[in-house]
Structure 1
């Protein structure tokens, strides 16, 4: 099998085990929602649902879900770590620039967070976005730690697969930067379609910003041919956004949450 066909097959397999699979389910979900006879604005999507009425069994299920969701990340890193190179360093997940990574991550979260909330509010107003229930977990001592882990899991899975891994492999397939940005952004939007049309467009915009940042020479690390993007700031930004969505929403006044359609 020619190397480019082998790489393409590998990409489809990795996506089929992770975000591509989620995208297919999301497409089916939005089709079901649009044909349900109930307007999207009157439907609800739950991001973190309880899996058992027994608290400790629920905790086990939550931790298993988080752990197994990260297996595709381990697979992608393993596949990129050929010929003795470190995939962690290749994708910029190492601790080489902690201060800059954190600063860039916070800046990206701020740049995406406010417009993202505006997209959601607009979608709700137009009736093309479902009501998002950020967390349906009962209140236990482990609820907040699990939500924080879930936020980190989302950030690591999506940014490593949809940005870092996909960029490395599409370069080997001869793709240019623009083609990668479009593909990565559409992928990101597609697996959020279960939340409605509004979140699709909002996440496409987020995908454009994140993938453009990752491929920008201005923010690359290293020198000469060793210059490469870093996924770490994207993971930081994504984790912060999800922490606010999963945990911080409870600090928002009830009347504000009601106006935005957040529960």
Structure 2
């Protein structure tokens, strides 16, 4: 995600380009001025996030408060992301798949509501017209966020502001890598569709400035990672600022979904593989 400037561009033009990237103009073409319709948009936003990631954010905040009330410091506690859901391996497998379906449905809800509001897939960057470029951009964004993100997590944990995060505690079964990949894709789909494509579009309809919408969406993203500690919150807010601005400037959502999927697959599957190797060491 770079700001490309043609060779020979005047310094004043470069300054304008940088200023527009940092503080883009308000998108007035999507503004809804009908009072009744604006009320419906607000209600829709409230309902959607009350049953999806907004509720997760509240639960995450309560989880962090619970951790802070324990005698042990945050860095001495561990939290797992993907955990067993049943004693039976078969039942556990099926319950993990229900989690994948739920995440997929959350993202699909956002797409459906945008479609009902008159937005086609291309309007939010979910068409396949640039699938090759989207994939490459997604890999680039994954590297941009994933590598520094791992470093920041280690620093936050060492500083005592983050719990130790175990991406997976699922048992060694044939379906574990399959489920972890599906959960990674489901997380990416739900989060990027709802917290970027859906909410930023709706805030444009309400007349919010681009930067105000960006900060709101980034804080929302950070809120449902509070269970990991303050480091998890800060890291995901930064991720939200980068991803949100990328979408605001390019209108391509697939790169964000791909990047998020790659990061989670590396974290979930990589951690499980590493744990398996360590368990075999003497």
TM-score (norm 1): 0.88
In structure 2, the residue matched to 1:108 is 141
- CA distance in 2: counterparts of 1:75 and 1:181, whole angstroms: 21
Query: Quick check: 2:81–2:165 contact (8 Å CA) kept in 1?
Result: yes
SS of equivalent to 1:47: strand
Query: Quick check: 2:226–2:233 contact (8 Å CA) kept in 1?
Result: yes
Query: Quick check: 1:147–1:246 contact (8 Å CA) kept in 2?
Result: yes
In structure 1, the residue matched to 2:270 is 248
Query: Of the candidates 124, 128, 135, which is equivalent to residue 157 of structure 2?
Result: 124
Residue 215 of structure 2 is aligned to residue 193 of structure 1: no
1:83–1:131 Cα change, 3 Å: closer
In structure 1, the residue matched to 2:190 is 157
1:253–1:23 Cα change, 3 Å: closer
Question: How many residues are matched?
Answer: 244
Residue 44 of structure 2 is aligned to residue 21 of structure 1: no
List runs of 5+ in structure 1 lacking aligned partners: 221-228, 258-263
Structure label with greater radius of gyration: 2
In structure 2, the residue matched to 1:237 is 259
Query: Quick check: 2:67–2:74 contact (8 Å CA) kept in 1?
Result: yes
List structure 1 segments (4+ residues) > 6 angstroms apart after TM superposition.
none
SS of equivalent to 2:71: coil
SS of equivalent to 1:133: strand
Residue 210 of structure 2 is aligned to residue 177 of structure 1: yes
1:59–1:122 Cα change, 3 Å: same
SS of equivalent to 1:73: helix
List runs of 5+ in structure 2 lacking aligned partners: 1-34
CA RMSD across the alignment? 1.8
Residue 31 of structure 2 is aligned to residue 9 of structure 1: no
TM-score (norm 2): 0.83
Deviations 1:24-59 (A, max 9, x none): 001111111111222101111111101112111111
1:191–1:61 Cα change, 3 Å: same
1:51–1:252 Cα change, 3 Å: closer
